[in-house]
Amino acid sequence: MNIPTSPPTTSPDDLVHDLRQPRRRGQDRLAARQNERVVKGFWRAMAANDFAAAGRFLHDDFVLDWPQSGERIRGPENFVAVNQHYPTVGRWQITVDRLIADERGVATDVTVTDGVQADRAITFSELRDGRIIRQTEYWLGGVEPAAWRARWVESGP
């Protein structure tokens, strides 16, 4: 077995995220708050069913991926059109159940219903220039629990 005898050339500061300079941590917190404000504004517009207003939170180069269906929406105009033409029974009601932001982006867990159909979506938003440039959204359609694991699990939210 070959064991290196010289110390590593990488310092702990290069490896540990939390050991950045205090000024950098402050900038990261500021960026995280800004990202949070943008994404909260986006969800407020969506909850108001004002899809044109939601589109204004999107970068010109915006891309939304829906991995389950293999679809991609490119551009704010297409995003607005998809939402304006989505077949619903009533107005969308959207509740942000959880939001986590850092300097790189925002993750949200939202509940969406039109009064008849209801679903949850986990959305990862990346931001550039104060607007959302990319979203990856996972829709958590109803999945029946597997009977084989019933003795180890309980019903959740």
- pLDDT per position as a tens digit, 23-71: 567 788 999 999 999 999 999 999 999 999 999 999 999 999 999 889 9
How high is the mean pLDDT of the chain? 86
Q: Would you say residue 119 has pLDDT above 80?
A: yes
Q: Classify domain 22-143 at the CATH topology level.
A: Nuclear Transport Factor 2; Chain: A, (3.10.450)
* Average pLDDT score over residue span 107-114: 97
Q: What residues have CB less than 8 Å from 104, skipping those under 6 apart?
A: 35, 126
The domain ranges of the chain are: 22-143
Q: Which of 37-41, 54-58, 88-92, 109-113 has the lowest mean pLDDT?
A: 88-92
Q: Which of 10-19, 50-59, 114-123, 127-136 has the lowest mean pLDDT?
A: 10-19
Across the beta sheet with 58-66, the strand order is 71-74, 58-66, 131-139, 118-128, 105-113, 93-101
